[in-house]
Structure 1
Amino acid sequence: MCRHLAYLGPEEPLGRLLVDPAHGLYRQSWAPRRQRHGTVNADGFGVGWYAEGDPVPGRYRRTGPIWGDRSFADLSRVVRSGALLAAVRDATLAGADGEAAAAPFAAGTWLFSHNGAIAGWPRSLAPLARTLPAEDLLSMEARCDSALVWALVLNRLRGGDEEGQALADTVLDVAAAAPGSRLNLLLTNGEVIAATAWGDTLWYLTEPGRRTVVASEPYDDDPHWREVPDRTLLAASRTDVLLTPLKDIDAPMAPAPDTSVPSASVPSASVPSKEPRT
Structure 2
Amino acid sequence: MCRWLAYSGTPLLLDSILYRPVHSLIDQSLHSRLGVETTNGDGAGIGWYAQEDIGTPALYRDIGPAWNNRNLREIATHVRSPLFFTHIRASTGSAVQQTNCHPFRHGRWMWMHNGAIADFPLMRRDLSLLVAPALYSAIEGTTDSELMFYLALTFGLDEDPPTAVARMAGVVERSGREHGVEFPLQMTIAVTDGDRVWAFRYSSQGASRSLFYSTRVDALRKLHPDVAFLQDVSDETRLIVSEPLGDLPGAWNEVPESTYGVVRGGAGEMYPFTPEPA
Same fold (TM over 0.5): yes
With structure 2 as the length reference, what TM-score do the two structures score? 0.83
- Alpha-carbon distance, 1:134 to partner: 3.3
Equivalent residue in structure 2 for 1:244, among 254, 262, 271 = 271
Gaps of 5+ in 2: 177-182, 203-207, 218-234
The letter of the residue matching 1:165 is T
> What's the % identity of the aligned pairs?
30
Partner Cα separation in structure 1 for residue 275 and residue 105 of structure 2: 28
Partner Cα separation in structure 1 for residue 117 and residue 194 of structure 2: 27
List 4+ stretches of structure 1 deviating above 6 A. none
Partner Cα separation in structure 2 for residue 3 and residue 228 of structure 1: 15
Partner Cα separation in structure 2 for residue 55 and residue 186 of structure 1: 18
Q: Provide the secondary structure at the position in 2 that maps to 1:123.
A: helix
Q: Provide the secondary structure at the position in 1 that maps to 2:39.
A: coil
Say whether the 8 Å CA contact 2:169–2:185 is kept in structure 1. no
- Alpha-carbon distance, 1:141 to partner: 1.5
Aligned to 1:214: 240
Q: Provide the secondary structure at the position in 2 that maps to 1:165.
A: helix
The letter of the residue matching 2:71 is S
> What does residue range 53-64 of structure 1 map to in structure 2 within 5 Å?
53=52, 54-64=54-64
Partner Cα separation in structure 2 for residue 201 and residue 172 of structure 1: 21
For residues 3-38 of structure 1, the C-alpha deviation after alignment (integer angstroms, 9 at most, x for no partner) is 111111001110111111111111111111211x22
The letter of the residue matching 1:232 is T
Matching of residue 185 in structure 1 with residue 189 in structure 2: yes
Partner Cα separation in structure 2 for residue 224 and residue 39 of structure 1: 23
Q: Alpha carbons of 1:164 and 1:94: their partners in 2 closer, same or farther (altered >3 Å)?
A: closer
For residues 29-55 of structure 1, the C-alpha deviation after alignment (integer angstroms, 9 at most, x for no partner) is 1111211x2221110010001112222
Gaps of 5+ in 1: 250-278
> What does residue range 70-109 of structure 1 map to in structure 2 within 5 Å?
70-95=70-95, 98-109=97-108
The letter of the residue matching 1:247 is T
The letter of the residue matching 1:169 is R
> What does residue range 10-49 of structure 1 map to in structure 2 within 5 Å?
10-35=10-35, 37-49=36-48
Quote the RMSD (CA, aligned, Å): 1.9
Aligned to 2:231: none
Say whether the 8 Å CA contact 1:85–1:188 is kept in structure 2. no
With structure 1 as the length reference, what TM-score do the two structures score? 0.83
Aligned to 2:256: 229
Task: Select between 185-194 and 232-241 the one with higher mean Cα deviation.
Answer: 232-241
Partner Cα separation in structure 2 for residue 174 and residue 248 of structure 1: 9
Q: Alpha carbons of 1:133 and 1:169: their partners in 2 closer, same or farther (altered >3 Å)?
A: closer
Q: Provide the secondary structure at the position in 2 that maps to 1:230.
A: coil
Partner Cα separation in structure 1 for residue 60 and residue 275 of structure 2: 37
The letter of the residue matching 1:181 is L
Aligned to 1:166: 164
> What does residue range 125-204 of structure 1 map to in structure 2 within 5 Å?
125-157=124-156, 160-178=158-176, 179-198=183-202, 199-204=208-213
Q: Provide the secondary structure at the position in 1 that maps to 2:55.
A: strand
Say whether the 8 Å CA contact 2:166–2:275 is kept in structure 1. no
- Alpha-carbon distance, 1:175 to partner: 3.0
Partner Cα separation in structure 2 for residue 162 and residue 123 of structure 1: 29
